[in-house]
Amino acid sequence: MLSRALPRRSEARRMLIGTLLSAIGRGLTLPFLFIYLTDVRGLSDTRAGLVIGWYGVVTLALSPIGGTLIDRFGARRILLTGLVIEAVGTGSLALVDSSASAFGVMTLVAMGSSVIWPGQNTILASLTDVDERQRVFGLNFALLNLGIGLGGLTSGAIVDTARAVTFQTIYVLDAISYLMPALILLTLPHVGHRLAAATGGDRASAGGYLTVLRDRPFRRLVIFGLVLTTCGYAQIEVGFTAYAVRVAEVTPRVVAWALAGNTVMIVLSQLLVLRRMEGRSRTGGLAVVGAVFALAWLVLGAGGVVGPSNALVAALCVVACSAIFGFGETLLSPVMPALTNALATDALRGRYNAMSSMIFGISGVIGPVTAGPLLGAANGRIWVVAVVSGCLVASLIALSLRRLLTPAQDGRAPATPPAAEPAAAKA
């Protein structure tokens, strides 16, 4: 299954190696930013929260600009710039000593982050053929989670709040990891150039994001993504954790086990899911994602009902929720970017991918803000009802999208074998 999921072109395979290496560095630091800013650097909880929120706001604001720059100058130049900026910013976190420096460094990190994801997706789309693109995006997601898991396990054995140097070490290592995909890209001189340079790209890109938003199927896909991620991904950091600890009354260690179970589920099941999804409706797959996410929240809700009286069952429900959610992620991760790039034109591919990544940024603002009040009402039951209902609404939106797509866009058309030089003209 692994050999079947690997892209045909060696350049794409090397880009996937870059994803894995940078993800290991990301995993080193991902769980610890709040702890680092508060327990090591002395910022108050409120200031640390504002710093982290500022990162999300800046990333969201700059993402549209990143998409435009990718289409105008090519993903290669913009991605390389973004990776270097990200490396400098992440490494600079080791030197943060005040609120002002934290805000400045996180601004720099956000500048890099805003172009990395759409840039990588645009390059991967240019290096893969339509019939393999879905598998490659799914494999990319599995490698991302594998790397984050490995990095998290490593940093967990290193960091010590009593020794600032341990945190400085992981931030320096994270910075180095961002240079790995940059070095790989530098060894691929013909990859990531402007896709529409030879096909009237300036005329085709007239209108920019207005043209993207006039694309009715993509507009429907964006609505689906906003509803699903607001009631899904965006609830993990606040809603899931708060409900598990305060309502289901499990310990933080159980939450850590649950997140580990999520990663294990993704890594073990992604290749199998990719194989089963070939030739099947992408919109049908997205509808299943909504149903799976809804099931995960129902299981968590059950843990909240029995939690105070049975700690073991509550812990099992929390872990099961995270694992079930991870299975839904294995369905979503290959389909969403594949469908986005099936709808995109070469002249606007950067903007399409930037708009798709903005979905997570917007929901990342809405989700945490709404989770607090909902969790405080009726012992969290209203929150459970809201997120379950939202996920099911997303499933209905996904089903309504099917009639707007061609069979090829929906993944139902038979895969066509590649030409002698697959995607060479796009590279």
Task: Please answer whether residues 57 and 77 qualify as being in contact, where contact means their C-beta atoms are separated by less than 8 angstroms.
Answer: no
Q: Tell me how many degrees the CA angle 354-358-360 measures, rounded to the nearest 5.
A: 135
What 245-248 contacts at long range (C-beta under 8 Å, 24+ apart), as own/partner pairs, is 246/375, 246/380, 247/304, 247/307, 247/375, 247/379, 247/380, 248/300, 248/303, 248/304, 248/307, 248/314, 248/317, 248/318
Task: Specify whether the CB–CB gap between 215 and 343 falls below 8 A.
Answer: yes
Per-residue confidence (pLDDT) for residue 151, from 0 to 100: 86
Q: Do domains 1-188 and 214-413 have the same CATH topology?
A: yes
Full DSSP string of 85-98: HHHHHHHHGGG--S
For the domain made up of 214-413, the CATH class stated in words is: mainly alpha
Tell me the CA distances in angstroms from 126 to 76, 120, 346, one per residue in order.
11, 10, 9
Provide the pLDDT for residue 421: 40
Query: Against a cut of 0.75, is the pTM above it?
Result: yes
- Phi first, then psi: give them for residue 406, nearest 5 degrees: -75, 160
Helix (H) or strand (E) holding 160: none
- Specify the pLDDT at position 365: 78
Contact by Cβ (8 Å): 244, 258: yes
Predicted local confidence at residue 2, as pLDDT: 65
Q: Which residues pair with 163 in a beta bridge?
A: 160
414 φψ region: left (φ > 0), alpha (ψ -120 to 50), beta (else): beta
Domain boundaries, the chain: 1-188, 214-413
Q: What is the DSSP string of 319-370?
A: HHHHHHHHHHHHHHHHHHHHHHHHH--GGGHHHHHHHHHHHHHHHHHHHHHH
Q: Rounded to an integer, what distance in angstroms lies between the CA atom of residue 276 and that of residue 29?
A: 34
Q: Hunting for tokens 């194989």 — which residue is that?
A: 275
Q: Which residues of the chain have pLDDT under 70?
A: 1-2, 196-207, 237, 414-427
Q: What's the confidence (pLDDT) of residue 206? A: 54
Q: Which residues pair with 160 in a beta bridge?
A: 163
Residue 296 to residue 319: CA distance in whole angstroms: 10
For the segment 327-378, what is each residue's pLDDT rounded down to a tens digit? Answer: 999 999 999 999 999 999 988 999 999 999 899 888 877 887 787 788 777 7
CATH number of this structure's domain 1-188: 1.20.1250.20
Q: Is 162 helix (H, G, I), strand (E, B) or coil?
A: coil
What are the backbone angles phi and psi of residue 163, rounded to the nearest 5°?
-130, 100
Determine which helix (DSSP H) or strand (DSSP E) holds 7, and give its type and residue range.
none
The DSSP secondary-structure symbol of 417 reads P
